[in-house]
A and B are shown apart, each in its own frame.
Chain A
Amino acid sequence: MSKTKYILGAFADPDEMLLGIDKLQEHNIAIYDVFTPMPIHGIEAKLGIKPSRLPKAAFWFGLTGTCTAFAMIYYMLVFDWPMNIGGKPAFAVPDFVPVLFELTVLFAAFGMVFTFFFKNHLFPGRTPRVMHLRATNDRFIIAINAQEVSDAKKVESLLKDAGAVEVLHNDRKYVSYE
């Protein structure tokens, strides 16, 4: 058993990388992930990646915000200290709306940002997890889990055929900790 954990094919051109994905898929080789410095249209569908659940999270964060705002205003203006403002009843719903709206937006926005950071392990002071240092610059990377393939040589030749400028056999998953 080799010590290689991941095989990385680095491409200089996105079309060649897409060709590489096609070739690997033709040979039923599972792709662990793909890293590109820019968004590539249609790549999620090609790799069969499920749509992000972030919008659903946003909805629930927003709803939490609405409920929090309602509870807060209701406690302050109706329950704890009702005041006569312009002769309106204490429980004047239209007056609540701007605050309900603002807290909904605030919770949804912050909730989404923090969920995104949490899922991607992005915290202040944290070294980012990167499998190939040039994946954020000018290289298009296909990563294959070496434990799942029987013939590493075949993977390498398929990647090279598709136009990979280098193929790496990495013993460690992330290179950015070194």
Chain B
Amino acid sequence: MGTHAKTHNFAQYFQFTGKAKTWSLLAVVLGLAAIGYGFYSGHAERTFANLLLMAYYFTCVCAAGTFFLALQFVSQSGWSAGLIRVPQAFAKVLPIASIILIAVCAAGLQTHNLYHHWNEEGLSDPNSPNYDALIAGKSAFLNVPFFLTRLVVFLGVYSIFAMVLTKLSNREDLEGGLKNYRKSITYSAIFLVIFGFTTPIWAFDTIMSLEAHWFSTMFGWYNFAAMWVSGMAAVTLTVILLKRNGYISWINESHLHDLGKFMFAFSIFWTYVWFSQFLLIYYANIPEETVYFYKRWEPEYMPWFWLNIVINFLSPLLILMSRGAKRKENTLIFVAILLLCGHWLDYYMMIMPGTVAEHRGFGVIEVGTAVCFVGLFSFLMLTMLSKKPLAPANHPFLEESVNHHI
């Protein structure tokens, strides 16, 4: 009530110029220099581990954007209509992110810097000194052609759905009416089913197979939770920064409240899944399972192990619990950045002990790779965002979104 009188410029475009463009491109250049330094200084494996981390993170955030989009259609949500262009921009970057991730995985396999745990000569040959019975048993699933096929098929399918949903939204802008919205619901429902069944396998492949002896059925959902939290943090951050720069005037603190609730709730969900995995392994105490946490309990990883829980569970729990905190831009920006860093650490804890192990580091290569991908994501996402008006003018729920009040 009371917001009816305000007029909004729904045809507004995001102008991608000036500082944002300079800084994101500068970040890419600096990051590329750091990656180059990593290879040049003989840290090929460490650099590859970082590339995998950031490429996976990047793809996950874009996939989370697509998932958010599909979820809004299937649940026929009204509140999000005004900010739907932000996850849509994420979804549009998904094909590019997928190609980068596939390239990193393929190059890692080719140069034996990644996945060498299951990708070495003679691992499944009983006469070889390298023979590994566990890996041999898994080789029907974990072999290079099938691995890459799965990756290409999964990411390809996600990308196709991302593009279809964007195309339907474009048509809606031009034609109006409910036809494209109804079609979006159908495609979203199909996408969600495919996504739900394949993301755990995607996580098993790209991350869990780095330590191929170990397995956990929780791992897929654990990765999904991390993906969704970091995706929501990225959406929240983008929305608030857009608002701060004078765009999307129709987004009010109720929308921020909902985004804050998503970050809060799914941080708890992340902890729930993380702990479910940990508790069962701790309780059963089977050596082939505990080896995973044993590695992460070594002195060089233990502080990070705890920091991971403090940043990704305790901080959002305590900071975002109250209603007021979820409605304040500054608090949300702080928590969103904290969670984005926190889930970088989360992926770091998943990847590093299985790749570089005790030769881990935190320096130019880590920061540089992260900066490179953050810059690349910002550049691509903002470019996509600037191509269409910031409000979906013919979205059936736009009016409801503008008057969103909780």
Contact = CB atoms under 8 A, between A and B. Distances in A.
Interface of A: 18, 40-43, 46, 51, 55, 59, 86-88, 94-95, 97-98
B405 A42 contact: yes
Contact of B279 (A40, A59, A98): A98
A55 B1 contact: no
B287 to A, nearest CB: 13
Nearest to B2: A42
Nearest to B321: A59
B104 to A, nearest CB: 35
Interface residues of B, number: 13
A41 B1 contact: yes
B283 A55 contact: no
Interface in B293-349: 321-323
Interface of B: 1-2, 275, 278-279, 282-285, 321-323, 405
Given A42-B1, A42-B2, A86-B284, 20 more contacts: A18-B1, A40-B1, A41-B1, A42-B405, A43-B1, A51-B323, A55-B322, A55-B323, A59-B321, A86-B283, A86-B285, A87-B285, A94-B275, A94-B279, A94-B282, A94-B283, A95-B279, A97-B275, A97-B279, A98-B279
A23 B2 CA distance: 15
A98 B278 CA distance: 12
B285 A94 contact: no
Q: Which 5 A-B pairs have the closest CB atoms?
A: A42-B1, A41-B405, A94-B282, A94-B279, A42-B405
Contacts of A40: 1
Contacts of B278: 94
10 contacts: A18-B1, A55-B323, A86-B283, A86-B284, A88-B285, A94-B278, A94-B279, A94-B282, A95-B279, A98-B279
A59 B275 CA distance: 22
Contacts of B285: 86-88
A95 B278 CA distance: 11
A43 B1 CA distance: 8
A42 B323 CA distance: 16
Contact of B283 (A42, A46, A95): A95
A97 B1 CA distance: 44
A55 B325 CA distance: 13
A97 B313 CA distance: 14
Contacts of A95: 279, 283
A125 to B, nearest CB: 34
A95 B283 CA distance: 8
B148 to A, nearest CB: 38
Q: Give the interface centre of B1, B278, B321 by most chain A CB atoms within 10 Å.
A: B1
Contacts of B2: 42
A98 B275 CA distance: 10
A18 B2 CA distance: 11
A43 B282 CA distance: 51
A86 B285 CA distance: 8
Nearest to B322: A55
Contacts of B1: 18, 40-43, 46
Contacts of B323: 51, 55
A97 B277 CA distance: 13
Nearest to B404: A41
A55 B282 CA distance: 34
A91 to B, nearest CB: 14
A4 to B, nearest CB: 31
B296 to A, nearest CB: 14
Contacts of B322: 55
B327 to A, nearest CB: 11
